[in-house]
Structure 1
Amino acid sequence: MKFSLAAFAAAIASVTAANITVIEPWGQSTWNAGGSGLVHWSAVNGAGQTCEIHLLTGQATNATVVANLTANGHTVPCDYTKATFLPLPNYPSGQYFVRIGPVGSLPEQYGYSNYFNYVGTGSA
């Protein structure tokens, strides 16, 4: 567990390069399948850029993108700073995190949340 936390801290350090800081969801947040999920962020120099938001699981250094929450043309302006997704899909319960960044960014250009709880009954 210490290794994954250290790796996650390294990913968090990339937030500075991304100029995006994820405020929510964070460690105490819980998303429930069928409910809504709020992503709240602050963006420096986000005006005129379009952002995408991904849901991920696994270790920060080898994470799996579970979903592009902004797929099918539902990207958001980076300077909006909030987006609510509903209904949330039925993924397996576990620890997840989100990342947000300008469309087509490299992983180190995204802002990352901390792990948060996702409650669902889906299968992997």
Structure 2
Amino acid sequence: MKSFLLTALAVIASATYSAAEIKVVSPWADTTWTSGGRGNITWTTESSDAKKDCHIQMMNGNATNSNMVAYVTAPDTPVKCSTESYQIHPLNDFAAGKYWIRIGQTDAADSWAYSGVFEFKGNGTAKPYHLACKCYTQHG
């Protein structure tokens, strides 16, 4: 009975959750971003997601209580997922600490792909939910 329930739960979980076809390559744990510097983001995309629009957001917190800190791409101007790279320059001044990036489609909760946790060095003068840069952004 126990194995039947576990199998049933696994089938239900796989039917209701499909992993994102996006895989974040960088930033990763050995990355440090610094206020005023550059933030390089790279990912790979399966062909099924290539023509979709991707939003990029900067997060902090922990696995059970994460917070979106900033929009990397403006909410009204996502990038094509097939772009597979994005550079932020100069980085806004976020508080020093641990952060990560998520990339995906905002209309599909299971589409998000996450970077590794990386270090950010800053003083924390940036306002929450603003763009991750004070600047211009470029991609591709």
How many percent of aligned residue pairs carry the same amino acid?
34
Alignment partners' CA distance in 1, 2:64 and 2:38: 27
Q: Which residue identity lines up with residue 34 of structure 2 in the other structure? A: N
| 4+ aligned runs moved over 6 Å, structure 1 | none
Q: Which residue of 2 aligns with 1:12?
A: none
Deviation for aligned residue 1:83: 0.4
CA contact (8 A) 1:47 1:79 kept: yes
CA contact (8 A) 1:37 1:84 kept: yes
Unaligned stretches of 5+ residues in structure 1: 1-15
Deviation for aligned residue 1:119: 0.7
Map 1:29-68 onto structure 2 (within 5 A): 29-44=31-46, 45-68=48-71
Unaligned stretches of 5+ residues in structure 2: 1-17, 129-140
* Secondary structure in structure 2 of the residue aligned to 1:79: helix
Specify which of 83, 105, 113 is matched with residue 108 of structure 2. 105
Deviation for aligned residue 1:102: 2.1
Deviation for aligned residue 1:36: 1.1
Tell me: higher relative CO, structure 1 or 2? Use CA pairs within 8 A at least 6 residues apart.
1
- Per-residue CA distance 1:79-101 (angstroms, 9 max, x = gap): 11000011111010000000000
Alignment partners' CA distance in 2, 1:65 and 1:72: 13
Deviation for aligned residue 1:114: 0.9
Residue 113 of structure 2 corresponds to residue 114 of structure 1: no
Deviation for aligned residue 1:53: 0.4
Q: Name the Cα RMSD after superposition.
A: 1.6
Paired residues in the alignment total 108
Q: TM-score, normalised by structure 2?
A: 0.72
Structure 1 range deviating more: 84-93 or 70-79: 70-79
Q: Which residue of 2 aligns with 1:74?
A: 77
Q: TM-score, normalised by structure 1?
A: 0.80
Deviation for aligned residue 1:104: 2.6
CA contact (8 A) 2:55 2:75 kept: no
